[in-house]
Chain A
Amino acid sequence: MNEPQIPADSVADSVVRVPNTLARATGIPWRRAALVLLALFALVGAACSSPADDAARSGGAAAVGPAVSTPEGGRFPDGTTVRLLAHDSFAMSEQVLDQFTQTTNAKVEVVLGGDAGVMVNQAVLTAGNPQADVLFGIDDNLLGRAFAADLFVPYASTGLADVLATVSRDPENRVTPIDYGDVCINYDRAWFRDRGLPVPTTFEALADPAYKDLLVVQDPSASSPGLAFLLATVARFGGADNDATDAAWLAYWQQLEDNGVKVVDSWETAYYTEFSGSSGQGPRPLVVSYGSSPVAEITDPSLPVDQTPTGSVEATCSRQTEFAGVLRGAAQPAAAQALIDFMLTVAFQEQVPEQMYVYPVNSAATLPPTWATFAQPAPQPWVVPATTVDTRRDTWLQQWSGLFR
């Protein structure tokens, strides 16, 4: 076989002037290129097999049999790994997770499963043969679906004693509350100040022609804050049991539509392309977001509270609680329970605001100073009971779609 030749003109004619070494590296003869690719292939192959297929995972003694027994002294055998299935927004301090490993000898491996709704549906499809031991991030509105699929094994954590009385919980302890958050209308302070217009403080004001074309919301069938806002309107205006088009809450949405509300697919689009108060600098000064979002927009923490770039409208807030549960069929049920206990400790709880923009449920956990100043939870949030949401949600979404599609 002839030695492959690089066509002489391929480098010389190149319009890109690259340094000589790079030219040599890119004008690669065919065989060397194949070798490089093969080597890369082998390298990735080696990397691919290491973390996931860890033999250690199934080797833990605590995994044997359905009986859950916490080992003596609360320490698990070497190599125990507990897997946490969480939504994409999950974040935690690595240092705090290391504390769990130091006290229990079990490592935490995080598996991310899309947004909360998609994650729960994946778990329902694999019920009994789960990908993880603990599921975190299921909110009130998704519980019905999970319970119907018998997704969780009940576990009453001792940490529940420290949980705020106002936080919703499951009487059967299939899931444990870990954090909660508010979904509220956010406003762009400068926009209203520049126009001498008062910031709206009620739902009714959003339908007032003075605020025409100013609000952007998310499609409630595609977005979790979008659904939370819809639930707030159901709680505020009523008509939850009305299947017809004259349901009171739906009439309010009709007013919003007449007043030029814009509906987009996701929080990201609403906040970063439509909302004028974010770095995306969109045109609309009112957006459905989280009660905690204004903290994230503060670049100077010494500002007075009424001077922050954005704020939230308390009267529009609805509350969501996020839960964790031990998955039925978990390989490490004891370690899973230990992880849920750990998620209720002050160390973990005090991290949830800055890591995930939500509030701790442990009454002993204190808020970070900026949060204490700028982002207290809403005093009287709107709540629709989870059982009502579960039976009525699809009907409400259809009614809503009838208006907006």
Chain B
Amino acid sequence: MTLRARWGLLAVPLAFLGVFFVWPVVAIVGRGLRPDGAWDLSPIGDVVTDPVIRQVAWFTLWQAVLSTVLTLVVGLPGAALFARYSFAGKRVIWAALVVPFVLPTVVVGIAFLGVIGPSGSLGVDLSGTVWAILLAHLFFNYAVVVRTVGGFWASLDAGPVEAAEVLGASPRRAFREVTWPLLRPAVAAAASIVFLFTFTSFGVVLILGGVRNRTLEVEIFDQTARFLRLDVAAGLAVVQLVFVVVALAWFARTQQRRAVPLRPAAAATNASPVRGWRARSFVAANLLVMTLLLVVPLATLVTRSLRAPDGGWSAQYYRALSTNPRGSTAFVPPVDAIANSLAFAAVATVLAVVLGGLAAWGIAGRGGGGGWQWIDAGLMVPLGTSAVTVGFGFLLALARPPLDLRDSLWLVPIAHAVVAMPFVIRLLVPALRAIEPGLREAAAVMGASPARVWREVDLPLVGRALAAAAGFAFAVSLGEFGATVFLAQVDRPTLPVAIYRFLSRPGPDQFGQAMALSTVLMLLTVMVVLIIDRVRPPGTVEF
């Protein structure tokens, strides 16, 4: 690929991020650091030397590192499970892993506190401790590791491992010396996403972390949205950005060095039925982890949605969802909320997959010199930037003609795509780098046009990664991630908004309906992700 072709692929995604990310962020940070037309960088110095902020920054960093390590330790065996074994219910579980992504944090808070809270089923009150934060981060990000690494792993050629074992290597050694080096780019990709998510953790820290545990993200939110001290907020945003860029540079270097081209394999041949006690206990242990981590908390939501005030079982809250006894404007017909959610998420997914795909092919291409890892790292920054910074930035940057998008419904999917794009890039780049160049060359030598090489070599080989990326993009949008939460919107409520509306009012009916609608959202997510997982380019290898 020529240098020109690579820049050509990158031009559109870079322009998109320039308008919908860089410009708003510069606008809001500029408002804070240039109040009277002249730059005044002293807020950055004030923030850096403030002992309270230093403590917050330190806490933000170590909890993110610890959360990332914990998620990898628990998630990697899960990835191995999906890559190596076929078992009943595999597809549904693979899709259901995404559910935590779409639930509003306040609902996850209720689910979690139902287990580890003051009167939770665990019997130990972890609320307000860092343990609650770590567990919740594991809950949210488990799917990132399992789906990212598991998908990549499944498409590795089993040949080298078998060869190693034939040559006398123990399974342990074969893993350490063959599989693990090949997996590392995918592990680094997953780790970077988890790190960025937990480094910018907001709702989890507020709801489960008590008043003493605070992250930079929480401080930025308070200074921006509550106190409107834009100078302090800008100083904090710069500090957060520096941390994120340093971390991303490190991850980018790791991935650049370790990418090894591979001959792809039909993944179905890698997954084998569960036989023998070792395999059985491995599968059982993983399923137990998933049950404790995901099923138990989420089940509390389902049971509460079915509990009538008299203690019996009833579907009354589901029936109540479509009634509007007071003729209120705040009422959202569930069908409308589902339609709004699906429409926004569909547009955001298409945007993220197309733009992220272009960027990934540009980054992963060969030829045209080095230094691409810096562009790669730069494209990840939106995931590590405070949503309130972007949201309030939108308000300043996109509020005047020719680009007054404040009233436009496009703003919602655009903001979601800004956050979802890094997912797509992160999942696609390792998959693309793993394509053996010889395959493309062979196709070209035999007369295939570049478009045909792309369609018949690249696309089928990264089909699984593409589907996984689309699934994440969809879930990110469905869960209302992103800057739009902080923007005034013409009322077009989505499912999470409707859930939040119930929960912000007192009374058993409101609570019950919030739980019922959360259950609906979970089921909808599983269904849609199951479909996305199956919509793939032709020839894509299946599990």
**Complex interface: chain A residues within 8 A of B206 (CB):** 222, 265-266
Cβ distance A275 to chain B, nearest Cβ, rounded Å: 9
A289 contacts B by Cβ under 8 Å: yes
Which segment, of B150-158, B235-243, B291-299, B483-491, faces chain A?
Answer: B483-491
* A281 with B119: CB separation less than 8 A: yes
Cβ distance B500 to chain A, nearest Cβ, rounded Å: 7
B62 contacts A by Cβ under 8 Å: no
Instruction: Known A95-B327, A289-B506; judge A111-B489 contact (CB<8 A).
Output: yes
* A274 with B409: CB separation less than 8 A: no
Choose from A14, A93, A297, A405 the contact partner of B91 (Cβ within 8 Å): A14
A88 to B491, CA, bound (A): 10
Which segment, of A45-53, A60-68, A99-107, A199-207, faces chain B?
Answer: A45-53
* A112 with B491: CB separation less than 8 A: yes
**Complex interface: chain B residues within 8 A of A209 (CB):** none
* B407 with A131: CB separation less than 8 A: yes
B539 contacts A by Cβ under 8 Å: yes
A354 contacts B by Cβ under 8 Å: yes
Instruction: Known A14-B91, A114-B486, A122-B395; judge A93-B329 contact (CB<8 A).
Output: yes
A8 to B206, CA, bound (A): 49
* B491 with A296: CB separation less than 8 A: no
B499-543: which have CB < 8 Å to A? 500-501, 503-508, 510-512, 530-531, 534-543
As a 0/1 sequence over residues 391 to 418 of chain B, the CB contacts with chain A under 8 angstroms (1 = contact) are: 0100110011000001111100100000
Which segment, of B109-117, B189-197, B432-440, faces chain A?
Answer: B109-117
B258 contacts A by Cβ under 8 Å: no
**Complex interface: chain A residues within 8 A of B399 (CB):** 126, 129
B226 contacts A by Cβ under 8 Å: yes
**Complex interface: chain A residues within 8 A of B501 (CB):** 88
**Complex interface: chain A residues within 8 A of B302 (CB):** none
Q: How many interface residues does chain B have, given as a range?
A: 35 or more
A364 contacts B by Cβ under 8 Å: no
A5 contacts B by Cβ under 8 Å: yes
* A26 with B109: CB separation less than 8 A: no
B213-233: which have CB < 8 Å to A? 214, 222, 224-228
**Which chain B residue shows the least CB distance to A401?**
B211
A273 to B92, CA, bound (A): 31
**Complex interface: chain A residues within 8 A of B510 (CB):** 296
A147 contacts B by Cβ under 8 Å: no
A77 contacts B by Cβ under 8 Å: no
A305 contacts B by Cβ under 8 Å: no
Cβ distance B281 to chain A, nearest Cβ, rounded Å: 21
Instruction: Known A33-B535, A44-B347, A53-B407; judge A269-B118 contact (CB<8 A).
Output: no
A37 to B88, CA, bound (A): 30
* A296 with B512: CB separation less than 8 A: no
Cβ distance A176 to chain B, nearest Cβ, rounded Å: 20
Cβ distance A97 to chain B, nearest Cβ, rounded Å: 7
**Complex interface: chain A residues within 8 A of B490 (CB):** 51-52, 109-111
The secondary structure that dominates the A interface is mixed
Choose from B225, B407, B537 the contact partner of A52 (Cβ within 8 Å): B407
For the A-B complex, the count of residue pairs with Cβ-Cβ distances under 8 Å equals 223
A318-372: which have CB < 8 Å to B? 354-355, 357
* A41 with B350: CB separation less than 8 A: yes
Choose from B119, B211, B489 the contact partner of A219 (Cβ within 8 Å): B211
* A91 with B329: CB separation less than 8 A: yes
**Which chain B residue shows the least CB distance to A113?**
B488
A119 to B486, CA, bound (A): 9
**Complex interface: chain A residues within 8 A of B534 (CB):** 10, 26-28
A166 contacts B by Cβ under 8 Å: no
**Complex interface: chain B residues within 8 A of A52 (CB):** 407-409, 490
A1-60: which have CB < 8 Å to B? 1, 4-7, 9-10, 13-16, 26-30, 33, 37, 40-41, 43-45, 47-49, 51-53
* B506 with A16: CB separation less than 8 A: no
Choose from B92, B328, B347, B485 the contact partner of A355 (Cβ within 8 Å): B328
Cβ distance B54 to chain A, nearest Cβ, rounded Å: 14
* A272 with B211: CB separation less than 8 A: no
**Which chain A residue shows the least CB distance to B406?**
A131
B330 contacts A by Cβ under 8 Å: yes
* B89 with A30: CB separation less than 8 A: no
**Which chain A residue shows the least CB distance to B485?**
A114
* B226 with A118: CB separation less than 8 A: yes
A162 contacts B by Cβ under 8 Å: no
Interface centre among B206, B507, B537, B539 (most CB of A within 10 A): B507
**Complex interface: chain A residues within 8 A of B90 (CB):** 15
A132 to B487, CA, bound (A): 13
**Complex interface: chain A residues within 8 A of B211 (CB):** 219, 263-265, 404-405
**Complex interface: chain A residues within 8 A of B253 (CB):** none
B341-375: which have CB < 8 Å to A? 343-344, 346-347, 350
Instruction: Known A113-B488, A268-B503; judge A221-B222 contact (CB<8 A).
Output: yes
* B488 with A278: CB separation less than 8 A: no
* A13 with B542: CB separation less than 8 A: yes
A296 to B511, CA, bound (A): 11
B77 contacts A by Cβ under 8 Å: no
* B329 with A297: CB separation less than 8 A: no
A229-277: which have CB < 8 Å to B? 262-269, 271-274
**Which chain A residue shows the least CB distance to B493?**
A112
Cβ distance A293 to chain B, nearest Cβ, rounded Å: 4
A154 contacts B by Cβ under 8 Å: no
**Complex interface: chain B residues within 8 A of A92 (CB):** 328-329
Choose from A4, A13, A267, A278 the contact partner of B511 (Cβ within 8 Å): A278
**Complex interface: chain B residues within 8 A of A45 (CB):** 347
A185 contacts B by Cβ under 8 Å: no
Cβ distance B331 to chain A, nearest Cβ, rounded Å: 8
B457 contacts A by Cβ under 8 Å: no
A391 contacts B by Cβ under 8 Å: no
A110 to B399, CA, bound (A): 18
B198-222: which have CB < 8 Å to A? 206-207, 210-212, 214, 222
**Complex interface: chain B residues within 8 A of A29 (CB):** 538
* A93 with B327: CB separation less than 8 A: yes
Choose from B128, B214, B228 the contact partner of A121 (Cβ within 8 Å): B228
**Complex interface: chain B residues within 8 A of A283 (CB):** 118-119
**Complex interface: chain B residues within 8 A of A131 (CB):** 406-407, 488
**Complex interface: chain B residues within 8 A of A405 (CB):** 211-212, 214
Cβ distance B406 to chain A, nearest Cβ, rounded Å: 6
**Complex interface: chain B residues within 8 A of A293 (CB):** 506
* B347 with A264: CB separation less than 8 A: no
* A222 with B222: CB separation less than 8 A: yes
B309 contacts A by Cβ under 8 Å: yes
* A44 with B537: CB separation less than 8 A: no
* A15 with B88: CB separation less than 8 A: yes
A89 contacts B by Cβ under 8 Å: yes
**Which chain B residue shows the least CB distance to A117?**
B226
* B328 with A15: CB separation less than 8 A: no
Cβ distance A402 to chain B, nearest Cβ, rounded Å: 10
Instruction: Known A51-B490, A118-B486; judge A279-B400 contact (CB<8 A).
Output: no
* A interface residues, Cβ below 8 angstroms from B: 1, 4-7, 9-10, 13-16, 26-30, 33, 37, 40-41, 43-45, 47-49, 51-53, 85, 88-95, 97, 109-114, 117-119, 121-122, 124-126, 129, 131-132, 145, 219, 221-222, 262-269, 271-274, 278-284, 289-290, 293, 296-297, 299, 354-355, 357, 394, 404-405
27 A-B interface contacts by CB (under 8 A):
A15-B92, A16-B530, A30-B535, A40-B343, A40-B350, A44-B347, A48-B347, A52-B408, A90-B329, A91-B329, A93-B328, A113-B488, A114-B485, A121-B225, A122-B395, A265-B206, A265-B207, A266-B206, A266-B207, A272-B110, A273-B127, A279-B507, A282-B113, A282-B118, A296-B510, A297-B507, A404-B212
List 15 extra interface pairs beyond A5-B538, A404-B211, CB under 8 A: A13-B268, A13-B542, A28-B534, A52-B407, A88-B500, A91-B328, A124-B228, A126-B395, A273-B118, A274-B118, A279-B309, A280-B110, A293-B506, A297-B508, A405-B212
Lowest 7 A-B CB distances belong to which pairs?
A4-B538, A296-B507, A113-B488, A91-B330, A279-B511, A52-B407, A48-B409
